[in-house]
Amino acid sequence: MKNLLDNISNPKDLRKLNPTQLPQLAKELRAFIINVIATKEGHLGASLGVIELTIAIHYLFDTPNDLLVWDVGHQAYGHKILTGRKAIFHTNRQFGGIAGFPSRKESAFDAFGVGHSSTSISAALGMAIASNLKGQTEKQHIAVIGDASIASGMAFEALNHAGVSKANLLIILNDNAIGIDPSVGALKEYLTRVKTDRKLAAQNNIIKALSFDYSGPIDGHNLPKVLAELERLKSVKGPKFLHVITTKGKGLQKAEEDQVTYHAPGKFDKVSGVRIKKIASLYTKYQDVFGKTMVELATQNNKIIGITPAMLTGSSLKFMFEKFPKRTFDVGIAEQHAVSLAAGMATQGFIPFCNIYSTFLQRAYDQVIHDVALQNLPVIFCLDRAGLVGEDGATHHGVFDLAYLRAIPNLIVFAPSNEVELRNILYTAQLGLKNPIAIRYPRGTGSIIDWQKPFEIIEIGKGLQLKTGTKIAILSIGTIAKNVTDAFELTDNSTEIAHFDMRFVKPLDERLLHAVFKNHKTIFTIEDGTIKGGFGAAILEFASKNEYKNKIQVLGIPDNFIEHGSVLELQRKIGLDAKSIAKKIMK
């Protein structure tokens, strides 16, 4: 049989097909994604689940004139392939290649950039209202959102507005009962009942109550049904809502059976779906250091609470959940709620560890300030995925946390340089701190094999001298200290270079800094956070306040968004790898 996908490079080619040919195209598109991701890696299950829906939308709607917004973007691989990026799809998430998420600068078909969840309805509604203001009343606006994302507060806010608008907006709920981990919450339970209770769907319907034209639920893998319903909805005016039931990982048995693992499975056999085992690392992932240490601490201290917004597996809080399910809370994709929930628990004498990815905490900034720091509540923020995270790119690099956190009064900010320091600060934090603390650590593995040592208390605000030297002082924060240590082996005059691990961005170890400034002519600061307002800026402020005239050079993330690629590739590009650091020191 002739391969249909070979002759499709954009939606105009797709629309030349007969509707009866579309199931065959769906089969080919799934196979294409599986073949590429099996060797190149990436997000798999979400895109496999929406193949029929993707084809139907581009077949019936006049994209890119009609505006299509995906939520998060994990589910947009089929969309990318059908919109001019098939030939370069193998570069997905690779350095210099296409992004893993929709990006406005990449294609006119990517109407909105999406890396964080629950933005699609707001964005599409904004586009629809703008079209009304311009008199473009026939223009279509489609938002595709998952059941995990629609439970977020931002999505609820958008639904509340859209229901009373006159906007020509179609919201498609891709209901597969799972985000990265299984979906949670009352809305998830309601959607589960709607799937089996047609009477509930038709009468007592939450979405209808918000003044939407609701239809469904329908089988999202039945192309004729999806096509028929989308065709009908094209002529319905005002806000519309289509409830579609799909299976994450559809078409690859292993991905259907283990939807959590196959969200992003790494390399696998494209026929059997069996994952290809990587050579086991001798080192432990920082997330697992956190997760396993939490179990130890929670065993000793029954006041400890674990909280995460939909990242039980990603944060490794799953270990605590398995042992202490009543003290571990997955609140869904609701970062603001997670922070204020932790604040409420802290008022009652509990010790909440709120684990949120660095870039996701950006979404709860007001809660950190207003609900936690202003009231000086001892919430312990554990910021996973800090610094450069690699192939997920600009939407996920945790490079702003040092800058946005150090401006907040009462908040302690700590960055461990290795696994032992992470372990010890977690121990220290639950001993009765009087202030909130943010602990930020990177994605990936550390550098110490035997990290499960007896706990030691870390003195708040105290840095460490790692190496002596006479002329140059390097002040580092966090795990970038390893690059500095490696750089010494590449320099000719390492005996002249001192190295200090400051550990705390706030409070700074001013006693140590006075000694550094008095004994070293030149000072480098190195961080894997943004130069603007970050750790280096804090050192410059200290020097200005104390009228030091030393030469200071600040190294870190430049003032632009960093694209995707491996962490080492990105560090080389911006001059934070060991070799680049050595060159700057030598110069």
Establish how many alpha carbons lie within 13 A of residue 219's alpha carbon, considering only the half-sphere containing its beta carbon.
Answer: 6
Q: Which H or E element spans position 40?
A: helix 22-40
335 is catalytic: yes
363 is catalytic: yes
Please identify which of the residues 30, 250, 363, 443 carries the catalytic annotation. 363
pLDDT of residue 492: 80
Radius of gyration of the chain (CA): 26
pLDDT of residue 210: 85
pLDDT of residue 261: 85
Cβ–Cβ < 8 Å for 254, 227? no
Please identify which of the residues 80, 85, 93, 248 carries the catalytic annotation. 248
Amino acid sitting at position 146 = G
Close Cβ partners of 34 (under 8 Å, ≥ 6 residues apart): 44, 48, 251, 252, 270
pLDDT of residue 263: 87
Q: Which residues in the chain come in under a pLDDT of 50?
A: none
List, in order of start, the domains of the chain with CATH numbers.
5-263 (3.40.50.970), 286-442 (3.40.50.970), 464-586 (3.40.50.920)
Cβ–Cβ < 8 Å for 553, 525? yes
Close Cβ partners of 400 (under 8 Å, ≥ 6 residues apart): 358, 359, 362, 529, 530
pTM above 0.85, yes or no: yes
Amino acid sitting at position 451 = W
Distance CA 550, CA 574 (A): 25
Beta strand pairing status for 504-506 and 412-414?
antiparallel
Establish how many alpha carbons lie within 13 A of residue 553's alpha carbon, considering only the half-sphere containing its beta carbon.
Answer: 11
Which stretches of 67-201 are assigned E, i.e. beta strand? 67-70, 141-146, 169-175
* Distance linking the first and last C-alpha atoms of the chain: 64
Nearest Cα to 263, choosing from 271, 273, 255?
A: 255
Distance CA 252, CA 47 (A): 12
Considering the chain, what is the average pLDDT of its residues? 93
Report residue 235: phi and psi, to 5°. -100, 0
> In whole angstroms, how far apart are CA 457 and each of 36, 260, 426, 430?
48, 36, 9, 10
Cβ–Cβ < 8 Å for 158, 207? no
248 is catalytic: yes
Please identify which of the residues 41, 229, 335, 527 carries the catalytic annotation. 335
Close Cβ partners of 379 (under 8 Å, ≥ 6 residues apart): 339, 342, 343, 346, 352, 354, 372, 436
